[in-house]
Structure formats: structure tokens, C-alpha cells
Amino acid sequence: MRFIYFAVAITFLLSPILAEDNPDSDITLVHRWSLNEDENGLLQISIDSEEEIAGLQFTLQFSDPNIFLGTPVTELSNDHVTVKSKVDSNELRVIGFSLEGKPLDLETPILSIPMLSYKAREQSVQLMIKDMVASSPKGTKINLRVSDGIIYVVPTLPKKFKLEQNYPNPFSGDTRINFDLPEDAIVNLKVMDILGNTVKALRKGVVPAGFYTVLWDGNSDNGSPVSPGEYLCSLKVGANYHTMKMVVLR
């Protein structure tokens, strides 16, 4: 989904926990950030990304007065990255960038942050990460969205409208329907039988430009499983209609 959200806090519980796909979300997870604590008490920040990243900025907040976050350091493979940080009360602000525009090596953790405790920890430590910003090697901003504890990194807006064939197809359980919107539009996405009767309304209303993945569980609007056979997925965008065939197996 194509949104840019900043100054939105998310919470990591350090035991550790990784960001995972949200089954209730219709957003495609493109890239994933994770924050983990290793056996030496270092917070390791990793990025799982298909897109090159050459700079990042974020703020870590912590509410435990017995916790102190030290100066972030890079792995050897990322020693070309200049890192600046500042601790202010219960916040650690970090910025990392490559003066040459060289992308980060994402095969290893990009940053390690010492986490010191003035007392022995007997429970998980709660951190909040906010103000996430990332940039490409060309210096362009990479769009971020925060939702349900997951940081989504989304590529640039699509250049044209596209409705992709659902996958899997045929299917007996769930299937995913992908469509791209190059601009904001009034959308009506639904499943119909071969006679044109509406079986399931999937998405309706004004939808911002972006890449979308909608899940259909094979049930009708009344919640009952549909009969096996052929169905039509209809997508109306403005005055234009687009359809594709789907096959349900039981």
C-alpha cells in the first residue's frame, strides 16, 4: 500500500521478536526490519530488502531508567557507512549514510547498538522505534509505512494500472489478488459467479495509489464456503472494468 507514515511509534519486545507478516493486512510486505539482542547485549538491526539502501535514520525510545544505549557501530562489511548518534534522556537518535552512495551490505546486521543495564534484567525490555527514514544510493527517499509493529518499505508508485491473475489458481483455500493503481481512484473489487451475481465484496471506495494484495478465503458475503467451479474477479476502477477467471476446488 502506498502511504508514507513518519513519527509513528512501534514496539519491539527484546526476547527477541522479529517482524512477521500480518495475516489481517491487505498490504504486501516488501522489506522487513528486525531488531534483536545477541548474547553480548548488542542490539542488532537488520534489513531484509530487495531494494538497495544507502542511508537510514531512526530514533529508539526506551522507558526503563536502568537502560542505557551506547554508540552504534557498523559491521566490517558496512565500514563505508558514516554513523552519527546522540542520546537525549530516554532517546537514541541515529543516522547512517554513505558519502559515496554505496549501498549497505544487508547480508549482515547493518548496525549494532550496545545496551547496558544498571541492574540485572529479569524481564523483557520494551523499546519503541520511530521517525524511520531510508534512502536509496541515488539519495531518493524510500517510502516507509508502519502497521501493527511491522515496518513496510514500499517501492515507487506503479506507472500503470495492472490486475494480476490470482495465486494460487485453481485453489481450495485462500487466494491472493494483486492490483496496482498509478493514481487515487474509486475502486470496486468483487467476486461474481458466471451469471454476474455478486458472491463476495472485497474492496470498495476511494483507494490511494499503490500496490495492493487482497486475500479471498473462498467464502461468500454470508460467510459460507462457495461451491467449486469457475468465478469471476471483477475490478472496476473509475469507468473501467477488468475481470479475470478464478477456479475454486473443494
Please report the DSSP string for 56-113 in residue order: EEEEEEE--TTEEE---B--GGGTTSEEEEEEETTEEEEEEE-TT-PPP-TTS-SEEE
What pLDDT is attached to residue 160? 85
What pLDDT is attached to residue 34? 53
Q: Which three cell numbers stand for residue 192?
A: 461474481
pTM (2 decimals)? 0.48
What pLDDT is attached to residue 36? 57
Residue with cell 542505557: 68
Question: CA distances (Å), 50 to each of 18, 43, 53, in order?
Answer: 18, 23, 9
Q: What is the pLDDT of residues 188-223, one digit of tens each?
A: 999 999 999 999 999 999 998 888 889 999 999 999
Q: Tell me, what DSSP letter sits at residue 24?
A: T
* Topology match between the domains 10-154 and 162-248: yes
> Which residues of the chain, if any, have pLDDT below 70?
1-41, 117-126, 143-156
What pLDDT is attached to residue 144? 62
Q: What is the pLDDT of residues 166-197, one digit of tens each?
A: 999 999 999 999 998 888 999 999 999 999 99
Per-residue burial over 84-104, b if 16 or more Cβ lie within 10 Å, else e, is ebeeeeeebebbbbbeeeebb
What pLDDT is attached to residue 206? 93
Radius of gyration of the chain (CA): 22
Q: Where are the domains of the chain?
A: 10-154, 162-248
CATH architecture for the domain at 10-154: Sandwich (2.60)
162-248: CATH, from 3.50.50.60, 2.60.40.4070, 3.20.20.70, 1.10.3720.10: 2.60.40.4070
Terminal-residue alpha carbon distance, the chain? 31
What pLDDT is attached to residue 38? 55
Angle, CA of 47, 148 and 41, to the nearest 5°: 50
What pLDDT is attached to residue 111? 85
Residue 23 preceded by cis peptide, ω within 30: no
